[in-house]
Amino acid sequence: MRRNRRVKILATLGPASSTEEQIAELHKAGADVFRINMSHTDHDLMRALVGRIRNVEAAIGRPIGILADLQGPKLRVGKFANGSEMLEIGQDFTLDDNPEPGDSTRVHLPHPEILEAVEVGHRLLIDDGRLFLECIETDKRSIRCKVVAGSKISDRKGVSLPDTTLLSGALTDKDRRDLDAVLEADVDWVALSFIQRPEDMAEARKIARGRAWLLAKIEKPQAVERLDEIIELSDAIMVARGDLGVELPLEAVPGIQKRITRACRKAGKPVVVATQMLESMITAPVPTRAEVSDVSIAVFEGADAVMLSAESAAGDYPVEAVATMDRIAIQVEKDPLYPGIIFAQRPEPEATGADAVSLAARQMAETLDVSVIVTYTATGTTGLRASRERPRIPLLALSPVAKTARRLSLAWGLHCVVTEDAQSLDDMVDKACRLAVEQGYSRAGQRLIVTAGVPLRMPGATNMLRIAYIGSDGLSAV
């Protein structure tokens, strides 16, 4: 199944989309990668969903990526004797380590790491910012605050800390259990929530040991400040705009989104734009015009993927939401302005052989007007470098490793095919020609470009470029 767009669609599974039939419908409508949200999924259901996705994959004969999204630390206040309290602007309110039910003057905060880290002047945002507190005194066991804005606080509401860097890592005990389970289930990507520092990636990377690629969700101001370092230690990045919009001014989020997408493009790492993209389609069969523009901006910006959350997981119109996003992306990529915008954002190549080959392949393909660029990639490195160039010519990624093809299903422009390992350079070029014809990208008499790393099966060595002519038998004639 060949897509008519380059940007990928990441769809979240949930109560509205958990059967094998529903997953197949979502893929047919345009979903390239499926997200399993471990905040709402136990291990038995996760394994069942992975099995159903793999069954759909086998039925259609195309690699499908699976992303498991770890919950991360959920910071919440304790409970109140009356369930909730009304506060007044300017009054004092304390968060402390006393487990007794709260009242209008205090509440339990069952997170000693917060009590130890918050300093005078730091902001504490409760219930997605509906209540704004400022620390005026702390003794590491309690935080005395002034109510700056808002009035209501109730049981178990979330706490956001835009000014505070927690010394504890991003992985909770639940995350560690979930990480072990999803790695055992052989998912392709693992998303880490509430990353603050590059060090937060270290523990997960040590546990994963290459069994899955790691995606860092940027949803904290501290992560934005150390973005380049986090990108370097991650395999992909997600712009998690929901929490970013709580801890940062809303008007700052669009600029940060552009900064992140361009930084990832420069680094050659896939970037996903997420949160509330088609939010109204949870209950409506069509999106708002503003939502259509939001998705379009992400596509124009050159994001690798756009994501649906509740729209596909729990909404009334999951298939329609995916199909709508598919149509928006196709239309944007047809727009006469699209190539120029993508070209203008093209970063300078790094001083490596892989980047030089990928740049040359793109330039030659556009100059010679070849039918397709075929990139042969066992580890994914060659595919990602080709994707980074955002060529106007289609990209066909061939891999003898199914897991590599599944991982690359998140990357811009790559149509991934699992094929038998090539026995020689000539065999590889013949496979490229034959599969380009079979997948509908080429026909006899056309030329294509092949990039790879030689010797074969040597990771990280994209160093070969070849122009091939497709003969009447569908194999290389040169």
pLDDT, position 477: 61
pLDDT, position 345: 86
The CA distance from 154 to 106, in Å, is: 12
Render each residue's pLDDT in the chain as its tens digit; 478 residues: 789 999 999 999 999 999 999 999 999 999 999 999 999 999 999 999 999 999 999 999 999 999 999 999 989 999 999 999 999 999 999 999 999 999 999 999 999 999 999 999 999 999 989 999 999 999 999 999 999 999 999 999 999 999 999 888 889 999 999 999 999 999 999 999 999 999 999 889 999 999 999 999 999 999 999 999 999 999 999 999 999 999 999 999 999 999 999 999 999 999 999 999 999 999 999 999 999 999 999 999 999 999 999 999 999 999 999 999 999 999 999 999 999 999 988 888 888 888 899 999 999 999 998 999 999 999 999 999 999 999 999 999 999 999 999 999 999 999 999 999 888 888 999 999 999 999 999 999 999 999 988 776 666 578 889 999 998 877 666 5
CB 408 within 8 A of CB 399: yes
pLDDT, position 460: 59
CB 211 within 8 A of CB 236: no
How many CA atoms lie less than 13 Å away from 88 in the CB half-sphere? 2
DSSP string computed for 242-300: HHHHHHS-GGGHHHHHHHHHHHHHHHT--EEEESSTTGGGGT-SS--HHHHHHHHHHHH
The CA distance from 413 to 3, in Å, is: 9
pLDDT, position 50: 98
| Furthest C-alpha separation in the chain | 82
How many CA atoms lie less than 13 Å away from 402 in the CB half-sphere? 10
pLDDT, position 454: 79
What 8-state DSSP symbol labels residue 437?
Answer: H
pLDDT, position 411: 98
pLDDT, position 126: 96
pLDDT, position 168: 81
Angle at 458 between CA 350 and CA 412, to 5 degrees: 50
Closest CA to 432 of 377, 385, 352: 377
pLDDT, position 453: 83
Going along the chain from its start, the domains and CATH numbers come out as: 8-72+170-335 (3.20.20.60), 84-160 (2.40.33.10), 353-469 (3.40.1380.20)
